[in-house]
Amino acid sequence: MGDVRNGIATRAGAMILAPVGWLANVFDAPLRMLQRRTGSNGMAVFFLAPNMLVFGIFVLFPLVINILYSMTGGGALFLGDRTFVGADQYGRLFSCGSYLDPKSCTEDLFWIAVWNTLAFVVLQVAMMVAVALVTALVLNRELRARSFWRAVFFFPVLLSPVVVGLIWRWILQRQGLLNLMVFEAGGTPVNWLVERNWAFTATIMVSVWAHVGFYALILLAGLQAIPKDLYEAAEMDGTRPLRVFWRITLPLLAPNLLVVLVLTLIRAVQIFDEVYVLTGGGPGTSTLFLTQYIYEVGFASMLRNPGLASAASILMGAVLVVLTLIQLGIARRNEQRGKMR
Amino acid sequence: MSRVAEFLFRRRGGAGWHWTDVFTWFWLIGGLIVMFGPALWLVNSSFKTPAALAEFPPTVLPYVTAEAIVEGYEEPLQLFEVRNDDGSVRVLAEVRRLGTVAQMVDPANPGEIIRVNIQNRTPKRSIAFALDNYVQPFLAFDFFLYLRNSVFVTVVATLITLLTNSMAAFALSKYNFRGRSAVMMLIVATLMVPLSVILVPLYSVISAMGLFNSLWGVILPTVATPTGVFMLRQYMLTIPDELIEAARMDKASEWQIYWRIILPLTAPALAVLAIFSVVWRWNDFLWPLIVLSRKEVYTLQVGLNTYAGELNVQWHYILAMTVVTMIPVVLVFIFLQRFITTGIAGSGLK
């Protein structure tokens, strides 16, 4: 039986791969000619070319001209049609009576977005790391069907941000499931997404819900790398679980926790998709975050200002570069420590 | 009962319940409800009619109120179960309602109007799945088009990603050339440049290439994933160089070495990257939102967001289409989540 199934699988695989093999033969003759010119080592350039071309055109080139965009004004799209204004766009972003009071700024929306994002980052990252850590600790215990439970927490990670946003809009709406529970418990239903503070809380909760499984997995991998004999020794000494956690688990998990912390920071600064679908930045501007500000100024608003959008995106990019460098530094240190072990 | 309880709460080695055990199960069961519950509620709601969706408190099962066409009336009339004074129940259709009194007729005898106090009647309801929610968006709206666009973007972008990333990974793992570490540095650097930082200039590049409102404008900027190149390179480094040397002895061209030796041996890593790429591209939102402004080229995510953003949201269609959008990802979850979770644990990428 198994042989028959294998036979079918092999034949099916061969049928799917037939055009692939044909493709290889068609390309082989011209590429051999190329190879005769470049030598076998020179073919490396050929193999690198497609990827680097795409990188160059769609990542590096935009990155460089982004700086030029941020120094030009007007509504024109192409760089050649735009007028040079120097640092005016940055000046506009930073012209404020007081940075703590967005109303006193020329670009009040930018500062509203900055402060909203900052509050979001602090609260969401703290909550994300805490929930991910607890989940990882729970999943690291001796469980029956551990892979099932791991999958449970991982499920929302795969959902698209639009789906996540719509699922929660449906649950948080006035006649939704959450209000049903509040109603059954004897409370008064709340219009979750219309009330400012609740809407802001919802963006944090929903983004934690959507991504916590991913970070829990990273932490779980870290927990499983901690040598078991440490725990056995602690058990023989009759150490209490909390003490084991503070003295063994936490110090040894610190590198992974740091990675998760920085990763969540990087993602939280750029938060857009699910919040945009969930609240659209509202009510008012209470859930307007930086990426949405850039999107609206650059593409959506009636008074489009690409230069201003790029200046704001460069400021955000600077923050992200610093965070990413920290992350890479940590990753390298962890790697070296791993080698020493 | 106590036997069952004893069986359920029995612990290995006869040890008692520690508070950490209680907490573990609290967290797991709570997680099960919180993680799956919302999506299940959405699926459940997607089978309800607009009238059932507007009800509060909502019911768990999808009910529809029964209607009947009665002779002499143009519109179908809603059916009610009416309790008579003697306690018997009969089914009547409502003609109109005046305050607390409803004028009703017996469908079997439409000539005679019966006056009923509304306290003595309940709507007659039956369970029915509103499959129309799923059919109409495909017939009356452009959801079939959006679905096709999404499938096209996902499949083509994934194929190109696999090809270009594996070629680059091959060059970076099996050749020694000047500037190799510089190229690696460049790729690392692009990890720092998320899409949201280069939106404006990338949009101008796409427009200049004439790819605005084209699915290719969505596909091309996404295919050179640094994570993909990294992952494949790490894997290819484990393939012994002797294989390549032997193939060169046999006069195989470099292309043949790549296509016939390296690619088949990299299959497991390619499979993981393919799964990731499918999920990434299927779920992409911000970039398609910017590049695609005409309805004919919308992907599912953009189309769904547009319909959900309209003033008069037709939730019964939105819910059904959200379920449709979820299906491929749920399939990936059911069949391939083990690949993904081990892939993430191993490399820390998403």
- Whether A100 is in a domain gets the answer no
Least confident of A21-35, A218-232, A289-303, B315-329: A21-35
Residue B57: asked if its preceding bond is cis (omega within 30°), the reply is yes
Q: Please report which confidence band the pLDDT of residue B148 belongs to, taking 50, 70 and 90 as the band edges.
A: very high
pLDDT at B348: 47
pLDDT at B3: 67
Whether residues B222 and B256 fall in one domain: yes
Whether residues B153 and B118 fall in one domain: no
Contact with chain B for residue A54, Cβ under 8 A: yes
Whether residues A74 and A111 fall in one domain: no
Q: Please report which confidence band the pLDDT of residue B203 belongs to, taking 50, 70 and 90 as the band edges.
A: very high
**Interface pTM, i.e. ipTM:** 0.83
Q: Give the number of domains in chain B.
A: 3
Q: Compute the distance between CA of residue B326 and CA of residue B344 in angstroms, rounded to an integer.
A: 21
A positions 98-157 inside 8 Å of B (CB): 134-135, 138, 141, 143, 147, 149-157
Contact with chain B for residue A162, Cβ under 8 A: yes
Give A76→chain B minimum CA distance, Å.
10
Whether residues B202 and B318 fall in one domain: yes
- B84-to-A166, A226, B80, B117, B118 alpha-carbon distances in Å: 45, 74, 12, 10, 12
| Record: contact A160-B282, CB cut-off 8 A | yes
Whether residues A79 and A115 fall in one domain: no
Instruction: Answer yes or no: is pLDDT of B1 > 60.
Output: no
Q: Are A328 and B348 in contact (CB under 8 A)?
A: no
Q: Compute the distance between CA of residue B174 and CA of residue B177 in angstroms, rounded to an integer.
A: 10
- Whether B53 is in a domain gets the answer no
pLDDT at A15: 67
| Record: contact A44-B345, CB cut-off 8 A | no
For strands B63-65 and B125-127, give the pairing. Answer: antiparallel
- Rounded mean pLDDT of chain A? 85
Whether residues B23 and B155 fall in one domain: no
Q: At a CB cut-off of 8 Å and minimum separation 6, what does A7 contact?
A: none
Whether residues B316 and B342 fall in one domain: yes
Q: Give the number of domains in chain A.
A: 2
- Whether A52 is in a domain gets the answer yes
**Which of residues B85, B102, B127 is at a domain's end?**
B127
Q: Please report which confidence band the pLDDT of residue A1 belongs to, taking 50, 70 and 90 as the band edges.
A: very low
Q: Are A341 and A252 in contact (CB under 8 A)?
A: no
Q: Which structural domain, as residue segments, surrounds residue B103?
A: 63-127
Whether residues A313 and A174 fall in one domain: yes
Whether residues A142 and A214 fall in one domain: yes
pLDDT at A336: 74
Structure tokens at B342: 């081990």
- Whether A168 is in a domain gets the answer yes
Determine the average pLDDT of the residues in A119-126.
Answer: 95
Q: Which structural domain, as residue segments, surrounds residue A11?
A: 2-84
| Record: contact B350-A299, CB cut-off 8 A | no
pLDDT at B33: 93
| Record: contact A32-B253, CB cut-off 8 A | yes
Whether residues A51 and A115 fall in one domain: no
What percent of chain A stands above pLDDT 70?
Answer: 93
Structure tokens at B39: 């999506």
How many interface pairs between A and B have CB atoms less than 8 angstroms apart? 287
Which residues in chain B have their CB less than 8 angstroms from residue A166's CB?
42, 304, 308, 318-319, 322
Q: Hey, is B236 helix, strand or coil? A: helix
B positions 267-326 inside 8 Å of A (CB): 279, 282-283, 285-286, 289-290, 301, 304-305, 308-309, 315, 318-319, 322, 325-326
Residues B94-128 pLDDT 10s: 777 777 787 888 877 777 777 877 777 777 777 77
**Which of residues B127, B145, B169 is at a domain's end?**
B127
Instruction: Answer yes or no: is pLDDT of A289 > 90.
Output: yes
pLDDT at A16: 63
Whether residues B40 and B84 fall in one domain: no
Whether residues B7 and B148 fall in one domain: no
A positions 300-339 inside 8 Å of B (CB): 306, 309-310, 313-314, 316-317, 320-321, 324-325, 328
Least confident of A104-118, A212-226, B43-57: B43-57
Whether residues B197 and B310 fall in one domain: yes
Q: Which of B55, B323, B65 is nearest to A177 (CA)?
A: B55
A positions 181-240 inside 8 Å of B (CB): 183-184, 209, 213-214, 217-218, 220-221
Whether residues A16 and A163 fall in one domain: no
Give B347→chain A minimum CA distance, Å.
9
